[in-house]
Chains A and B, each alone.
Chain A
């Protein structure tokens, strides 16, 4: 009994110390605990190599991109390993809101004008709201503006092709991010009657950060062969490797890829370069972000 009372006495004296111990970390937890922390910088830019990453421009930010693919390196010394040829794609992409981005572009490849809409459906997050992956939807349209050859002028919509893509990405940790892109490509006009207008593909991409500002990227699209495959041109699946180098408002992306085109319809459906016989292109993208708001 005496010990009990002594204990009680000590407890009473120590009580304030316990109460007092609402320490600073608990207070911080109270102040910030009920918030959702959204993942950021899953990729360094809006492209992994040629295809889109999950990233968008935030509200009021404008991304000016200059993308470039040289010729195939198997052209040899005469073609200076492809560097004599230049294929360029210029684009402007703008974040209307934090979840909606629109873009326009122009490429050498088939003298194409293109437009895109990309919006975020789910964002990877932890805290109050837990979400394992980010999910975005991308829709692009491309208009080929080459002069009509071997045929009279056909109705305008024959120029158009469309791509719909779901982007599912997860940033596993500070270094590793992976993405899967189920893709549907529709071309209003194809070379021959036997060529399919529609293509299904699944893209996979990832990045691994080597240092704070440099990451290595890989991108591959598997194009599902049409059921009755009578494609007039033998196309291959695009496979690309690259580095992202980030310097403040710029991202430089240097890569090698077997695809020449820098728009989805082109590199998914019309890649002809073969990695095994040197049909690869050296290329780069330069992204410069401007804050307009």
Chain B
């Protein structure tokens, strides 16, 4: 009898374990654009990590600021040293939820629009953001894309007057991540 209980509880535990499968990615691509009439700037980070819980809809992203690559190395240096202060604030992260997760069927191929709401932390400042993205399921592979705008001043990123014309007020951020189930 007692053995039965233990057996059942092990099975129950395992079931929990099996269903608790998160989707993760270690090579997500996050990039941003700053468009001004004088200069266009873009930088790419291909080491974004992300965890997506397809059941609960929780969605997390974390990146190292230093992993952003600019074409102009000097710009990259200034980005880290003067703007993002990446020795003090090495990471940026997002912690949130896909609000309409129940409407997304990960077993069926297709494209689903996802409403994302959560906390975005950049330069030590956390703000609530919401955006919509696309979740695609193609023969079992889940990918996610999103595009949103952030304002540097919202995150206490100071842009000196001298370069104000060269750095956009609104920075366009793009996300493209392919998840592997584990």
Contact = CB atoms under 8 A, between A and B. Distances in A.
Whether A associates with B in a native complex is yes
Interface in B7-64: 9-10, 12-13, 16-17, 20, 22, 24, 26-27, 47, 49-51, 60-64
Interface in B50-82: 50-51, 60-64, 66-67, 71-74, 77-78, 80-82
Contacts of B60: 24
Nearest to B87: A174
Nearest to A289: B74
Contact of A61 (B27, B74, B87): B74
Contact of A213 (B51, B77, B160): B160
Interface stretch (A7-15, A77-85, A111-119, A230-238): A7-15
B67 A13 contact: no
B49 A24 contact: yes
Contacts of B47: 31-32
B38 to A, nearest CB: 11
A121 interface: no
Contacts of A20: 20, 22
A248 B17 contact: no
Nearest to B71: A291
B173 to A, nearest CB: 18
Given A24-B93, A213-B82, A247-B163, A13 B16 contact: yes
A136 B26 CA distance: 35
Contacts of B13: 12-13, 15-16
B169 interface: no
Contact of A31 (B22, B26, B66, B71): B26
B4 interface: no
A247 B6 contact: no
Nearest to B17: A16
Contacts of A9: 5-6, 9
A249 interface: yes
A9 B88 CA distance: 44
Interface of A: 5, 8-9, 12-13, 15-16, 19-20, 22-25, 27-28, 30-32, 37, 40-41, 58-59, 61, 98, 174, 212-213, 246-249, 289, 291
Interface of B: 2, 5-6, 9-10, 12-13, 16-17, 20, 22, 24, 26-27, 47, 49-51, 60-64, 66-67, 71-74, 77-78, 80-82, 85, 87-88, 91, 93, 160, 162-163, 166
Instruction: Enumerate the 3 nearest inter-chain pairs by beta-carbon distance, A residue then B residue, closest first.
Output: A12-B13, A58-B73, A31-B26
